[in-house]
């Protein structure tokens, strides 16, 4: 009898734990259906534009493109590219929400994926320019920028969060016909759940990336001379971009 009672108590404990994980509990101790097990605070508003230090490339000069993502039709001039090329149900979903460009996982089911995805805009004839954006990463852990994109060839700067164990966290690279070659790497990453400003400058053979106004990667390469600009991340969701700009020197 004691053994049966103990077994009953153990089973009841497992059921209680399962219910807590499934529904969550409110402050009064009652289950709330649909409450997430792991939640994050709401995205804060986009910060106002600050003037970067003189050592950083200025996003001034002749404006080639800019987008504040204030309307639902803001993406009419954008192209969305996945690496590798995927079936429609597996492709990254991008949308405008609450005045920002949001990466919303993949396909109709909204499943997260570690596959790379890019939002591309602009003219393939663009040569020397700086592309920049503000980014807030809630739980994606990777973002970056693309410059001089012609099909499967482009320059790309990408960075991963400090929470990842990988030693190399920043990479400035060229991608030619889908094959990536690192040009410069750095071990420092970034902190999640706060706004950052990232920029990628291509002027002649000089390539430079900045994060929050500080130069973080530089290289010299003359392989790619012109092309479109864009944003890079993974199809994991939990990340948004705002105040996208492209400007010639």
Same domain, 108 and 28: no
Residue of higher predicted confidence among 89 and 210: 210
User: Taking residues 94-99, what's their average pLDDT?
Assistant: 95
Same domain, 22 and 73: no
Same domain, 11 and 94: no
Residue of higher predicted confidence among 104 and 23: 104
Give me the domain span that covers residue 10.
Answer: 1-34
Model confidence pLDDT, tens digit, residues 205-244: 999 999 999 999 999 999 999 999 999 999 999 999 999 9
pLDDT classification of 29: cutoffs 50, 70, 90: very low
H or E segment to which residue 10 belongs: helix 2-23
User: Can you give the pTM of this predicted structure?
Assistant: 0.77
Q: Please report the pLDDT score of residue 89 as a whole number.
A: 80
Same domain, 127 and 221: yes
Domain contains 81: yes
Task: Please state, in angstroms and rounded to a whole number, the distance separating the CA atoms of residues 151 and 147.
Answer: 12
Q: Could you tell me the two tokens for 72? A: 């639902």
Report angle CA 38, 41, 46 to the nearest 5 degrees.
140
As for how many domains the chain has, the answer is 2
Same domain, 115 and 14: no
User: Taking residues 199-210, what's their average pLDDT?
Assistant: 98
Model confidence pLDDT, tens digit, residues 152-185: 999 999 999 999 999 999 999 999 999 999 999 9
Share of the chain above pLDDT 90, in %: 68
Same domain, 28 and 91: no
Q: Please report the pLDDT score of residue 41 as a whole number.
A: 62
Same domain, 1 and 96: no
Q: Do residues 114 and 234 lie in contact, with contact meaning Cβ atoms separated by under 8 Å?
A: yes
Domain contains 49: no
- Looking up residue 143, the CATH number of its domain turns out to be 2.60.120.560
Among the listed residues 32, 12, 11, 14, the one whose alpha carbon sits nearest the alpha carbon of residue 23 = 32
């Amino acid at each position: 009898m004691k053994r049966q009672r103990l077994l009953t108590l153990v089973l009841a404990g497992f059921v209680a734990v399962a219910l807590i994980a499934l529904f969550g509990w409110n402050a009064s101790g009652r289950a709330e259906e649909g409450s997430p097990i792991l939640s994050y605070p709401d995205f804060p508003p986009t910060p106002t534009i600050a003037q970067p230090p003189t050592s950083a490339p200025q996003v001034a000069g002749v404006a080639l493109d800019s987008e504040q993502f204030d309307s639902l039709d803001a993406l009419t001039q954008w192209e969305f590219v996945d690496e590798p090329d995927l079936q429609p149900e597996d492709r990254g979903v991008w949308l405008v929400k609450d005045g920002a460009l949001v990466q919303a996982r993949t396909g109709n089911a909204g499943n997260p994926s570690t596959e790379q995805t890019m939002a591309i805009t602009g003219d393939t004839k663009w040569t020397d320019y700086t592309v920049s954006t503000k980014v807030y990463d809630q739980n994606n852990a990777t973002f970056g920028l693309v410059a001089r994109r012609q099909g499967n060839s482009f320059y790309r700067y990408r960075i991963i969060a400090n929470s990842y164990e990988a030693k190399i966290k920043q990479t400035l690279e060229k991608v030619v016909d889908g094959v990536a070659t690192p040009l410069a790497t750095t071990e420092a990453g970034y902190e999640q759940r706060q706004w950052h400003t990232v920029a990628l400058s291509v002027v002649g053979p000089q390539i430079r990336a900045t994060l929050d106004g500080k130069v973080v990667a530089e290289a010299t390469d003359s392989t790619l001379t012109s092309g479109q600009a864009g944003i890079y991340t993974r199809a994991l969701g939990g990340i948004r971009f705002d105040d996208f700009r492209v400007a010639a020197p």
